[in-house]
Structures are given as structure tokens and as C-alpha cells.
Amino acid sequence: MESDEAAEHRMRTMVLEAFADTIIPGEKRGPDDAAIAGVDVGGGAVAGGAIDLLEDPAGGIAPALETICVELDEYAREHAAATGLDLDPDLPPFVGLPFEARTALIEKLTSPDHPDKQMWVGLALFCNMAFDSAPHMHTVDALASGHPGLLAMGYESPEPDGLWRFPTFSYGRQLADPHPSTTSTGSPA
Amino acid sequence: MTATESTDVLVIGSGFGGAIAAYHLAAGGARVKVFERGPWLKADDFEHDFKLGASYTRVFDFVIGDGMSVLGGNCVGGGSVVYFATMPRAPRFVFERHGSIGRRMWPAAISRDALEPWYDRVAEALPVTQQTWDRVPYAGGLFAAACHHAGRTANPAPSAIDVDMCTNCNWMMAGCRFDAKRSLLLNYLPAALAHGAEIRPLHEVQHLARNDDGSYRVHYRVVDEEDYRILHGEGTIDAKIVVIAAGAGATPVILQRSEPHLGRMPHAVGRYFSGNGERLNTAVFDEDRVREVLKLSRPDGRAYEAYQIGRGPTVASWDRLDGALPEFERYSLEQLYFPPALGTILAQVPDASPSWFGRGKKEMLRRWQSWLTIFTMSEDDNEGVFGPPPETGNAHRFSQQMLGHGPLRYRPTANTRRGWSLADADVKDILERDGLSRVMPWTNDLVGAYTVHPLASCRIGDDPATSALDDRHELRGHPGIFVTDGSAVPGALTVNPASTIAALAERAMPGIVRAAQDRGVAVTYGAPSPDGETAGRRAVAHLRS
């Protein structure tokens, strides 16, 4: 039997996953996956490790996650009411929103005139980072374990010592005329 | 309570402004201490790793303000450790700018010609070298080819990188693992240490107070080496001369916080901030069009797909650095690399809504290796103003490292926006020609505008109403306090500013040495280049008096 605390944590995680999945969407983990909307193929921000990153004490957003989820659900309820959407009572309200409504709500929360914009932009920034740079992991480990974001971006792997080197790096020829007024030091005049 | 130490010269910050001052004053015989709030890392400490807590987040600060976010160095060596080492000199017209104050912004004593010998000293010291086309990385080559196709010129930009040692890993924002980047850790700072200067990392200066004898008491806190949100002990040190070079995002904050102790600050402290008119565009290239239109091909057959390879910006287009054009309409365009996260979140997807997240953004990220980022440096309107300082430091630190919220407010004027808009159109014209790519500017809606070159928040000038420092970099009304970092630069430079910041610092040194002598410090001016070269010293010998 799941404790109340565990159930609450599970619900909170679902809300954060639904938010992260709206920033960089991915595919569902299974048929009962309500948090991930499943609008894209391959892993998105959630598979990239968004929850691990958000909960990393080094990031600074972890202490605010409870509040963030409560507020996100409250905004979701308002949004559903305003747009005539029915919410599944078994799901946290934000998770109950379809992908397009989640997107519309996040656009509103991160718009320049929203009073809490900074918080929502911060949350989005971390979700984006989980996908495109995996800062909760050593980059070498992330690549070795097939991190979905770095792989999708085609991020090159390092040499065996864990450092990147590109011995072949140049087209090797002049491709434009320099500015005619360039000075003898190579600077603009 | 520990006893107050004393020194002849206290230098706050160890970037260009601090390192150059520390070297010349120590070499001249003064007792010099350098307080740097960031850690002290060396080549072996610089990791290729995005993980929070790796060198990348330890040496960098990203301070989100209201309408402007500032990226800057936070380590011994300051910006020189994290920057891309592109070192052009500022074009001649920049020194004649009026901005919006109705008079020349720069002191009458400074022009491009007057600054040349000081630029030369910097070039000799780092050193700065010209780059050749055969070593330009793919991204620079692509930009050059696109410029040429559009009838524009493009230059490999002068740089403080030893290209023979460079691996083109593009991790230089995390510090150079290979010592290819000629940061201050390799020239001015070791030379200062050799002359007896002492560098204390993780020492964050909070405010200054004046002693009865005219010297200054500097109050600092010690920063935790892992979690910068935690401050440990505090202390004080007395100095006859204080050189503030904490960076344009921090120098004015220290002075604002000192106002109750020092008395009234010049009006321009914390005003006239410039983001160097910076603006970013990201293009996603069509690989087939790169091959067909530009005839580019890598040895492995790919046309481009090389965004990750290189060493930051290597090629710039200077066609709009034309003094005959109206002010606020001149800018340079520079090919740039930004790593994931800092370089991806603000990039926008053409014709998509939402433009910065969602399915479209993920699709854009799938083509990341075909990206090219173009950096505009234009003439902004010095519209940044610092609000009341936070309790400590220059930001409320949010993450254990790197991220914080600062008091800078920036609302771009029509002048600034005009320059950005012209540059955006130019970038689009060059890069979208014949279907080469699709391009969009970064959004300013999330964290405001974005600068890696903060300037002018405590600037030099001849007019006391609009400048905080006289033309010798002394803080008006507060003798013995000098400012030598990017905050002293009067305004946007239309090119990367490190070369100019360093040249101004070099130029300020004879005057600071004289001020130290006047305060009883046994010090002389005339040190050679940090590695012993003397051509630069000879060239400025007649300029000292």
C-alpha cells in the first residue's frame, strides 16, 4: 500500500514530467504513461533526466518544486475552466491537460508580462538543459549510456581519455576576401 | 575578530584590469594583493564536462537581470579564462561616439591612434596573433563562404590562441585544458606572482571604507569553494591604493554598497551600462545547399555538420564598421559557437509557435551540428542601470554556482533596437540567400538581452556628470581608488572588447603608479612584457609623463 507521502511525491513527479515533456517532448514509456503526452518519437526532456536535474541540490530549484507543482496545478485548473476542458479527477490537473493546452499554458506563464515569469522560465531552462547538456551527469557517462538528447543532437564522443580533440577541423582554404581597410595588426581600421 | 592586514595596493578581481595592474605594480616594487571571488584553477582542472560542479560551472557566472543577462568569468584570470580570446582592436569611429549625451563619450586624450601603443603592449604580452585561413575551423569557413556568396567581406579575427596547441575542442568556455588559449594564467598573473604579488581566490570584496589617513579599508567575505551561496569568514585589509576590476557587472555594485562608508558616489557609478550592443542569431543550414551553392565539403564527404568543432569565433564580417554610417547603425557580425544549454535555449525555431520550446525546438536540436550562431556587436545606448545592491556579491545566487539574479535593469532604446534590427536583417540576407539556411534571432523575452561583454557601468570620461572616472581611471571624488576593468570603457565597441579593456588598463598604469608614489609607496613604472620582451615598453616610454 502506497503511503500518502509516496503518493504525493508520485503525483508531484508526474506534474514535473508533464511540464518537462512539454518543453522537449518524447515518447510514452508505456500505455499508462499519463505524464508524457507522447507527441514525438525518441526520448525527450524526461528521458533526458529532467527530474534528476530538477531535484539536484546544486541546481537551486529543488526547494521550490512543491510550490511550483501546486501553482502549476492551480493554473491548469483555471485554464481548463476557461477553455471548457474536462480534467480527469484521478490525475493532477496539469497532467490532465492535453499537450496543446499544456503548451498554451506554459506560453502564458513564461510570457514577458507574467508576474512569476522568472520562476517558470527557470523551470523550462532546467528541462531544456536535461535534454541538451545533461548537467546532472558527467558528459562522458551521458554519452556512453546513450543519453537521448546528446545523441539526438549528434554530439560527438571524446577520445579515450575523455577529452575532445578534432584533428581535422578546417576547409583549409580562403573562403572570403578580407575587408579592404584591415590594418597591419589584422584589426578593423 | 582578526587583525586588519595592510598592503600597498589591493586589486579587486583578477581579469584583464586586475592582472595587468597587479603585474605592473608588483614588478615596480609595491606590495600587491589580489582578491578574486572565484576559484583558482589551472589547465589540469579544466574539465570537458557539463555536469554541475565541473569547472564549467565553477568559473562562470550567469547573472539574470531585468531585461539583460550577463555572462562573465568568476575565477582567477577572470574573463580571460572563459572567453573566446578574440582580440580585434576597436574601430576608429568608436572613440568618436557621442551616444545620447550630446558630446564625445571618450576622454579627449583617447583615440584609436593614442591607444595603439597600449594595444601593442597587450598584443606582445598575451600574445595576440593573426589567424590564417588554413586553420579556420569549418564553422568560420562556412560563415566566410556565405559572406562571400552575398558579396561581403570576412576576416579571420586576431586571437590570443596558440593555434598549434589548440585541439578545436570548443570547450574553451570551461577553461582551456591544453593551455592553447593565452589566458592571464599564462602571462600577467604568473609574472605578478614572480614579483611577489599574492592572489587570494574565493575572497569576495563587499565594500570599502576610508581611513583617517586617506587609505582604504576593504571588507571581504570568504566564499565556499563548492557552494558559492555559502559565505564563511569575513575580514578587512587596509590599502593605500585600491584598484577595482571586478567586472562591469560587479564593480559598480561594490561601489554602491560602499557609498554609506565612502560618501557620495559619482552619478555615473552603476549607470550607462552597455551590453556592447550584443545580439545573437542562430541559423540551421541545409547541408545539400551548403554543398551545392557554397561548394564546401569536408574530407569525410560531409558538407558541414561541424558546429561542435572549433574554437569559438574565428571569422568576422566588418563591412558595417564604417565610420560614414550613422551612429547606432554600425556593427560587426561574427561567427560563434555556444555550447548546449547556454547556447540553445534562447534560439528560436523559424515559423514555429512556440518558438523556443516544444516539438519544433526538438526538431531543431536534432540538426544541431548544422547550426551556425552569428554574434552581432553593435552600438547600444548605454541604457543599463543598476538597482540597489544585494546584501553580498553582485547577485542573489540561485544555484550553488553560475546562476543568480542581479540588480541590473536594461530597457533597449529605439537606437539600440534599430541597430539590432538592421543586423538581424543583414544576417538573414547573408545566410538565407539561395536557401542556404533558415535563421532567427534569439528571443529576448525570457532572460532579456544577453551579453558576454558587459561594459561602461563605471566609465571614464571628461564630463563629471556622465562619467564616474577621470581619464586616468581614478574614481571622481575618491582619490586612490581606480577602476581598470570593462566598466571603465565608455560604451559599446562594435567588436570583442578584451583587447581594448586590456589596452586601457595598460594605459592607466603609469598614472596609478604615480598615485601610489604620491601616497608613499616605493614603486616605479617600467616593467617589460611579462615574458621579458621590451618592444612594447620602449614604444610607450615617451607616453608616461
The pLDDT tens digits for B497-526 are: 999 999 999 999 999 999 999 999 999 999
CB atoms within 10 A of CB A57: 12
Can you tell me which residue has the cell 565539403? B297
CB contacts of B366 in chain A (<8 Å) are 152-154
DSSP annotation string for A47-90: HHTHHHHHH-TTTS-GGGHHHHHHHHHHHHHHHHHHHTPPPPTT
Q: Which of B192, B157, B7 is nearest to B84 (CA)?
A: B157
Can you tell me which residue has the cell 591607444? B115
Q: E-strand spans in B174-262?
A: 198-200, 203-210, 216-223, 231-244
Take residue A22 and report the three cell numbers written for it: 512539454
- CB contact set of B382 (below 8 Å; sequence gap of 6+): B99, B100, B105, B271, B272, B273, B274, B456, B491, B492
Can you tell me which residue has the cell 596547441? B165
Give the residue range(s) of CATH 3.30.410 domains in chain B: 131-158+278-377+413-447
Whole-number Å distance between alpha carbons of B266 and B251: 13
CB B346 within 8 A of CB B356: yes
Give the pLDDT score at B543. 81
Is residue B10 within 8 angstroms of chain A, CB to CB?
A: no
CB A47 within 8 A of CB A148: yes
Residue B416 phi, psi (nearest 5)? -65, -45
This complex has an ipTM of 0.97
- CB contact set of B181 (below 8 Å; sequence gap of 6+): B80, B85, B160, B161, B162, B166, B172
CB B180 within 8 A of CB B46: no
Nearest chain A residue to B400, by CA: A58
Is residue B170 within 8 angstroms of chain A, CB to CB?
A: yes
Is residue A180 within 8 angstroms of chain B, CB to CB?
A: yes
Q: Does domain B131-158+278-377+413-447 have CATH number 3.30.410?
A: yes
Helix (H, G, I), strand (E, B) or coil at B503: helix
Take residue A122 and report the three cell numbers written for it: 527557470
Give the pLDDT score at B544. 63
Phi-psi region of A175 (alpha: psi -120 to 50; beta: other; left: phi over 0): alpha
CA angle B170, B175, B177 (to 5 degrees): 80
User: Is there a domain that residue A107 lies in?
Assistant: yes
Which residues of chain B are modeled with pLDDT < 70? 1-2, 544-545
CB B373 within 8 A of CB B281: yes
Say if the Cβ atoms of B339 and A121 lie within 8 Å.
no
Whole-number Å distance between alpha carbons of A19 and A126: 11
User: Which of A129, A165, A188 lies at the smallest CB-CB distance from B167?
Assistant: A165
Instruction: Please report, as a single letter, which amino acid is at residue B203.
Output: H
Say if the Cβ atoms of B357 and A182 lie within 8 Å.
no
| pLDDT tens digits for range B341-389 | 889 999 999 999 999 999 999 999 999 999 999 999 999 999 999 999 9
User: Is there a domain that residue A170 lies in?
Assistant: no
CB A136 within 8 A of CB A56: yes
The count of C-alpha atoms lying within 13 angstroms of the C-alpha of B122, restricted to the half-sphere facing its C-beta, is 35
Give residue A120's domain range: 4-152
Give the pLDDT score at B2. 66
CB A98 within 8 A of CB A34: no
Take residue B196 and report the three cell numbers written for it: 611577489
Helices (H), A24-179: 45-48, 50-55, 65-83, 93-96, 99-109, 117-132, 139-144, 148-152
Chain A, window 28-87: residues with a beta carbon less than 8 angstroms from a chain B beta carbon: 39-40, 44, 56-61
User: Which of B128, B362, B399 lies at the smallest CB-CB distance from A59?
Assistant: B399
Is residue A170 within 8 angstroms of chain B, CB to CB?
A: yes
User: Is there a domain that residue A117 lies in?
Assistant: yes
- How close is the nearest chain A Cα to the Cα of B254, in Å? 25
DSSP B465: T
CB contacts of B302 in chain A (<8 Å) are none
Take residue B114 and report the three cell numbers written for it: 593614442
| pLDDT tens digits for range B187-199 | 999 999 999 999 9
CB contacts of B144 in chain A (<8 Å) are 174-176
CATH class of B1-86+88-125+174-276+382-410+450-545: alpha beta
User: Is there a domain that residue A120 lies in?
Assistant: yes
Helices (H), B28-82: 55-58, 79-82
Nearest chain B residue to A151, by CA: B366
| Residue A106: pLDDT over 60 | yes
User: Which of B158, B227, B397 lies at the smallest CB-CB distance from A185?
Assistant: B158
Whole-number Å distance between alpha carbons of A121 and B436: 32
User: Is there a domain that residue A175 lies in?
Assistant: no
Whole-number Å distance between alpha carbons of B522 and B541: 20
Give the pLDDT score at A122. 93
> Cα torsion for B485, B459, B452, B380, to the nearest 10°?
-160
The β-bridge partners of A155 are none
- How many domains, chain A? 1
Give the pLDDT score at A2. 84
- How close is the nearest chain B Cα to the Cα of A39, in Å? 8
Is residue B436 within 8 angstroms of chain A, CB to CB?
A: no
The β-bridge partners of B332 are B377
Question: What number of H helices and E strands is found in chain B?
Answer: 12, 19
- How close is the nearest chain A Cα to the Cα of B20, in Å? 21
Chain A, window 1-30: residues with a beta carbon less than 8 angstroms from a chain B beta carbon: 22-25
CB B204 within 8 A of CB B221: yes
Helix axes A117-132, A4-23, angle to 10 degrees: 80
Chain B, window 71-130: residues with a beta carbon less than 8 angstroms from a chain A beta carbon: 88-92, 119, 123, 128, 130
Nearest chain A residue to B321, by CA: A188
